[in-house]
């Protein structure tokens, strides 16, 4: 039994993209499942075909790529964020990402295949799919452009933009340093220089 | 007057994503425009709000980001490729990309706003929009994962994958080196090592 207030969180996140009638919304309900992750637990492992996506109800998570054992963090998730290896679900290929809980986390999830079925059933769900994919593409381009055109010192304020308080209070320094591709010591120096400005 | 065979190129590229009735297809026709670019000409400049997207009828192009005057190539376009600063059109923000003709090029283009209007008019056009955004997101993630997890020697065969002959025959070496983030001399060494394998 999923709590009403948890369903309300997902509903409000979806309605931010697109209005749905009560009947359209109800089409998603049978597919919902509740997940609890413990701190440090991996929700999706690199190489795995993950077919569910979901929303973070509480807690925070990150995702990363791996190269020769070294992690390359490219995203932090907080409450109300959609989470999933969306590209793996789209392409039905193994995930290149690992998605890990940085704290105990509560998620509400549904199979990507159910969403695809909704695209067939209701044009408004298809609109949600278009807007979700566009939102994802915008975020991916911003991060790739950031990697190619900005120094760690420029990328740090960019990372904080919009989520400043949550990132500073809830994400351990070494993960922020990993996102920027620098050591925690270099991050301390950057923070000091930015405070002096 | 746009030639029928040029319209057929665009139509077949769109129908690869989604089937359309003759009536649905005709909704795009009034918005089409033909463009000719000379070798070296920039179709879209960084900082510009570009609101058109199109398809390459002939020729090849590249796009790049710029950092402190240095170019960072991340894509090569050939015939039948959709081209545009799609994220700039989506977000209505200035383009981070510059898109340049590497040869004389012929394009067929339409305003992004017209496509958005079609999303309202016909669910099948909205499906095209979803699939196009998903296709774009998949490509963006692949390139970002490549940048983060692969060496230039690993990224080179990945770049050639699917377009090997076109890239080897039609893209000057220094642009391929720029894509890989290395000097043309390093690229020659990589090619030599790969040939010896």
Cα–Cα distance for residue pair A91/A79, rounded to 1 Å: 26
Q: What percent of chain A clears pLDDT 90, i.e. is strictly above it?
A: 90
Q: How far apart are CA A176 and CA A158, in angstroms?
A: 12
CB A125 within 8 A of CB A27: yes
Query: Which CATH number is correct for B4-149, 3.20.20.100, 3.40.1410.10, 3.40.50.880, 2.60.120.10?
Result: 2.60.120.10
**What average pLDDT does this structure show over B166-194?**
94
Q: Which candidate in B130, B147, B152 is best for mutational testing of the A interface (most A CBs within 10 A)?
A: B130
Using the CB atoms, write b or e for B6-35: b if 16+ within 10 Å. Answer: bbebbbebbeebbebeeebbebbeebbeee
What tens digit of pLDDT does each residue of B165-179 get? 999 999 999 999 999
Which residue ranges make up each domain of chain B? Answer: 4-149, 151-197
Check CB contact under 8 Å for A90 and B137: yes
Contact B159, B152 (CB under 8 A): no
Cβ of residue A140 closer than 8 Å to a chain B Cβ: yes
ipTM: 0.94
Size of interface A-B (CB pairs under 8 A): 86
Cβ atoms < 10 Å from Cβ of A149:
17
Q: At A194, is the pLDDT very low, low, confident or very high (cuts 50, 70, 90)?
A: confident
Kindly state the percentage of chain A with pLDDT values over 70: 100
User: What's the pTM value of the predicted model, to 2 decimals?
Assistant: 0.94
How does DSSP assign A130-162, residue by residue? HHHHHHHHHHHHHHHHHHHH--HHHHHHHHHTT
Mean pLDDT of A167-173: 93
In the predicted structure, residue A88 carries a pLDDT above the cut 80 = yes
Query: What is the DSSP annotation of B135-147?
Result: HHHHHHHHHHHHH
Give the residue on B whose Cα is nearest the Cα of A144: B144
**pLDDT at A50 exceeding the cut of 80:** no
For residue B53, the cross-strand partners are B110
- pLDDT tens across B6-38, in order? 999 999 999 999 999 999 999 999 999 999 999
Q: What is the pLDDT of residue B162?
A: 82
A162 band by pLDDT with thresholds 50, 70 and 90: confident
Q: How confident is the model at residue B49 (pLDDT cuts 50, 70, 90)?
A: confident
| Phi, psi values for residue A19, rounded to 5° | -75, 145
Q: Does A120 touch chain B (CB under 8 A)?
A: no
Q: Is the pLDDT of residue B197 over 80?
A: no
| pLDDT greater than 90 at residue A73 | yes
- Residue B98 to residues A189, B84, B142, B160, B190, Cα–Cα distance (Å): 34, 10, 20, 22, 28
List the A105-111 sheet strands across, edge first. A33-37, A105-111, A52-58, A82-83
Report the distance separating Cα B128 and Cα B10, nearest Å.
13
Asked if B149's CB is within 8 angstroms of A65's CB, the reply is: yes
CB contact at 8 A, A140 and B140: yes
Q: Is A70 on the interface with B (CB under 8 A)?
A: no
Nearest to B86 by CA among B127, B137, B42: B137
């Amino acid at each position: 039994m999923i709590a009403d207030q948890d369903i309300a969180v997902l509903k409000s996140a979806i309605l931010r993209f697109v209005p749905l009638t009560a009947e359209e919304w109800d089409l998603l309900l049978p597919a919902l499942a509740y997940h609890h992750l413990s701190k440090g637990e991996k929700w999706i492992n690199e190489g795995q075909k993950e077919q569910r996506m979901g929303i973070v109800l509480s807690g925070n998570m990150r995702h990363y790529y791996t190269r020769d054992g070294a992690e390359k963090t490219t995203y932090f998730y907080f409450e109300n964020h959609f989470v999933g290896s969306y590209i793996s679900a789209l392409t039905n290929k193994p995930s290149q990402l690992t998605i890990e809980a940085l704290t105990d986390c509560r998620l509400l999830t549904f199979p990507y295949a159910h969403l695809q079925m909704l695209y067939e059933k209701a044009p408004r769900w298809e609109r949600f799919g278009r807007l979700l994919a566009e939102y994802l593409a915008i975020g991916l381009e911003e991060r790739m452009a950031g990697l190619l055109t900005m120094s760690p010192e420029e990328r740090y304020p960019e990372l904080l933009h919009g989520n400043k308080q949550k990132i500073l209070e809830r994400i351990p320094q070494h993960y922020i340093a990993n996102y920027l591709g620098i050591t925690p010591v270099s991050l301390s120096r950057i923070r000091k220089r930015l405070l002096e400005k």
